[in-house]
Structure 1
């Protein structure tokens, strides 16, 4: 991901999104694109942001930000890129995720490797999916305000049983593992947790790919009333590494039939 900060250099120096670059280092108003199109094409996502992209701030700085943002968007589009503009801008992002903002310039790969990788936010401010390593990092738990954890492994212990509420489902990442009967139990746990004021749930397995994905999908299907296909596409957009094994997908298809009275999703249509 390439993140371009379209605000002033002064604002960038004060604080910016982790790994963000000043837009002028990539797209200069007079010199044009400062990196090659090939380099740009290496990024699967190009994200642009200003200070407050919601139309409510009419200050001079905001107007300058907006002009820079529009120029960068047009430049990238003319190069065949498909940039994304962050709704709400930096001010909204910093309010929601202050732990993902910094005054440091983080450009080197070694610096990126040292960054804390957070779980994926599946439902805003409520449901997250990640790995056992992330579930055992108290800084992550604290920053995301996690209150409940669904541990879908038999091999990973509950990290903070004295302070968090846990549901442990001893599942194996095996195509023959019966996960179908765990769906209602997991869904009830997640639903009740989210009904608590400020409740936030982290669903995890070992790597956050297969077992946790199956449980997350089952919850989205039941409580959002989404088809398996809709839930699967939603999850993949937010957690690209999500990959429930073939046995779990077949059981999710059966669960869809239980929920809606018929199968609405052809497994062959899922981009697995």
Structure 2
């Protein structure tokens, strides 16, 4: 039997935005997102690709269109569940009968947890409950609300993923095309750029306070180490100013990833291995070249006075 676990809103956001060559949403066994709210609420708006869970005789029906045994991520949400524990539901609403209400209290799981407890008998991977439900997620990522019910394969192929969220609402990691996308820029409220590529964008041109442009080619002998301290100071300053930062390179998988890992090592005072694991969890297709990995190891020694991560072991 599988586990029942919580999924934070930022985790679902990142799951929705993973890519291989195309959006991973196009993969049939990648994500099963299930909405257990009422039909009226679902029709009004729901998270993109979510399926509504139906009921008959007050019993939840298992979706027949999904092979739950093969699904990598099975995520359930209701309106606002914030705990896997039992929630309190009262039978009376009159404030004057407060004492009676205490006696009439009934403990019941939230709808998402209730359905999740059923699903764990059908899946091999954990079943996740979205913390805060639709209300929290749609409040943070309003641009992923939709009324669309049916998604054709070609529509999922054409879906344009957003930059990956590294620190919730603070640091995003992406590629040049995302950095040039006006809608994504507005939706994420980006206020500063760290551009590690030869290309330029239309944002913050000539504004050194909001744009750090490190012109570095994507080659095996590219040296980013000498810029790590500057990158960290620039990003740390903008975090203090509550600015949202987008770090990007041409494809967003090597140079910009190395910069983000270096920043996390500095900002959290942690090892290369730990920072690498965090970014890898957020962006599964990250792939800094070997030279950049070696430079990150040197950065670890500069920060901690010694090598703490063994890069001879695969950390990919």
Q: CA deviation at 1:193?
A: 1.3
Mind listing any 5+ residue stretches in structure 2 that lack a counterpart? 1-30, 92-105
Mind listing any 5+ residue stretches in structure 1 that lack a counterpart? none
| 8 Å Cα contact 1:229/1:270 also seen in 2 | no
For 2:90 and 2:175, how far apart are their aligned partners in 1? 43
Write 1 or 2 for the structure with the bigger share of helix: 1
User: Which of 214, 225, 231 is equivalent to 1:180?
Assistant: 225
Assess, with a 3 A threshold, how the Cα gap between structure 1 residues 163 and 29 changes in structure 2: closer, same or farther. farther
Q: CA deviation at 1:32?
A: 4.2
* 2:287 counterpart of 1:259: no
User: Which of 27, 36, 58 is equivalent to 1:6?
Assistant: 36
User: Which of 103, 112, 115 is equivalent to 1:69?
Assistant: 112
| 8 Å Cα contact 2:235/2:245 also seen in 1 | yes
Look up the match of 2:248.
204
Assess, with a 3 A threshold, how the Cα gap between structure 1 residues 57 and 186 changes in structure 2: closer, same or farther. farther
Q: Which has the larger radius of gyration?
A: 2
| 8 Å Cα contact 1:19/1:112 also seen in 2 | no
RMSD: 2.4
More relative contact order, 1 or 2 (CA 8 Å, 6+ apart) = 2
Q: Any idea what the Cα deviations from partners look like across 1:229-260, whole Å, max 9, x if unmatched?
A: 11111001111111111110011011001101
Q: How many residues of Structure 1 are paired with residues of Structure 2 in the alignment?
A: 263
* 2:130 counterpart of 1:100: no
Equivalences for 1:1-272 in 2 at 5 Å? 1-24=31-54, 29=59, 32=62, 34-35=64-65, 39-54=67-82, 58=89, 67-79=110-122, 80-154=124-198, 156-161=199-204, 165-196=210-241, 198-272=242-316
For 2:61 and 2:245, how far apart are their aligned partners in 1? 48
Q: Any idea what the Cα deviations from partners look like across 1:157-202, whole Å, max 9, x if unmatched?
A: 1222259721111112222111110111111111111111x30100
TM-score by length of 2: 0.77
